[in-house]
Chains A and B, each alone.
Chain A
């Protein structure tokens, strides 16, 4: 129910954004532009934890369509439906001068029947709030086509979930944690290709939904995407996971295949098939992923 409301609101928002553009005359431009100076698709989409990126992993690109003299912002809603669970994620992000990205997101992980099986209650939901900061430190993924140097950004995600009792029961450590990452992203225009590699230092189990355990471990994440046309990107992603609490709740690396449609700079839809592996007591969580983003 909550999801359908979220989807409806996102859709309504996108229609409003479209309407506003139509009234301003599309594309909405003036001689002194404050927003929207980046090229279409060079802002990425919103990854699951709210950062600008692909679906699973952050990219070094700063979210939104603001250039070095502009700002950009967007909101997103993402829905993941696996065999035994569903996750709904909402968030908003701000891109400042193509340098700094600030993001907030909330993930709601609904355990459905598994909750009842484990005695937690039918539809037991773990909610996690995430604050993110990313700073571009070097390079330009799109413009420096004559150099191998990718765009590099460093970032952090502060995460807090609301189920400390469950985390303690699992002996899974804390319900608050911080991920640190460095991302390198390069668009190879001559090949219509985007490549990203992210190295994340994390203690998080299932992104933090099942707590934060032990010491920091380095996890590699990667994305490769083809620019299929001005309005279409398709690609694959891979995300390593630490599997810190394998005795009670094994976790597997994640991967996905995605396609994104960006009709304009104000709206995008991403659909993906995601392999989440084992979550809690259920194996082979293959999932459908749908994400809507509105912004500028």
Chain B
């Protein structure tokens, strides 16, 4: 252990360690910030993106079974409000509890990722910058714990 401490605390190795530590200790934002919402074209832009998400989800055999027999209009509205709120917009999401509405649907990790891919395609279509896309995905990703069945 002493040897190791000596090794990591010399010269450029110390720089490497320090860089890693600083980067790892960065606080993970719970919200993405209002400027990111602008990259999505505001709430109207989000609505247009989610219109395309719906089209993609229904065209994708991986996701279609989960959406063909539900009130898609309502779900879409909820997703727009939820994303608007997550991106720091003037929206208050008061919709259903995520865990409750997904319970028993048997959603797998690949189903969850399929939706992400369909969302990425919709965001690409609306020219949302890649880094802004990732900021939205960063706040959506932890929802896997409520959505995906273990």
Contacts and interface: CB of A to CB of B under 8 A. Distances in A.
Interface of A: 29-31, 33, 36-40, 67-70, 98, 142-148, 150, 186, 188-193, 195, 197, 217-220, 222, 224, 227-230, 238, 240, 253
Nearest to B8: A220
A39 B116 contact: yes
Looking at chain B's contact residues, is the secondary structure mostly helix, strand, loop, or mixed? helix
B62 A31 contact: yes
Interface stretch (B13-21, B49-57, B71-79, B93-101): B13-21
Contacts of A189: 134-135, 137-138, 141
Interface in B114-150: 114, 116-117, 120, 124, 130-131, 134-135, 137-139, 141-142, 144
A67 B130 CA distance: 24
B82 to A, nearest CB: 15
Interface string B5-31: 001100001001101100111101110
Contact of A37 (B19, B23, B114): B114
B92 interface: no
A85 to B, nearest CB: 24
Nearest to A223: B20
A132 B46 CA distance: 45
Given A188-B23, A230-B130, 8 more contacts: A29-B114, A40-B117, A189-B141, A195-B24, A219-B7, A220-B16, A224-B20, A238-B16
Contact of B117 (A39, A195, A219): A39
11 contacts: A67-B108, A69-B108, A145-B139, A146-B28, A188-B26, A188-B28, A189-B138, A190-B134, A195-B24, A220-B17, A229-B130
B19 A224 contact: yes
A220 B30 CA distance: 31
Nearest to A232: B130
B110 interface: yes
Contact of A143 (B3, B29, B131, B142): B142
A142 B124 CA distance: 20
Contacts of A219: 7
Contact of B138 (A30, A145, A150, A222): A145
Determine the main DSSP class of A at the interface with B.
loop
Given A222-B20, A227-B134, A229-B130, A30 B61 contact: yes
A190 B138 contact: yes
B109 A220 contact: no
B60 interface: yes
Q: Could you say which of B16, B24, B120 has the most chain A C-beta atoms within 10 Å of its C-beta?
A: B16
Interface of B: 3-4, 7-8, 13, 16-17, 19-20, 23-26, 28-30, 32, 60-62, 65, 108-110, 113-114, 116-117, 120, 124, 130-131, 134-135, 137-139, 141-142, 144
Residue of B108, B134, B139 with most chain A CB atoms under a 10 A cut-off? B134
A238 B18 CA distance: 13
B7 A240 contact: yes
Contacts of B23: 188, 193, 195, 224
A277 to B, nearest CB: 13
Contacts of A218: 3-4, 7
Contacts of A193: 23
Contacts of A227: 130, 134
Contacts of B32: 190
Nearest to A231: B130
Contact of B28 (A40, A67, A147): A147
Instruction: Enumerate the 8 nearest inter-chain pairs by beta-carbon distance, A residue then B residue, closest first.
Output: A37-B110, A189-B138, A67-B109, A190-B138, A218-B4, A146-B142, A145-B138, A145-B141
A148 B20 CA distance: 13
Contacts of B30: 146
A176 B114 CA distance: 44
Contacts of A188: 23, 26, 28, 138
B13 to A, nearest CB: 7
A37 B142 contact: no
B7 A31 contact: no
A220 to B, nearest CB: 6
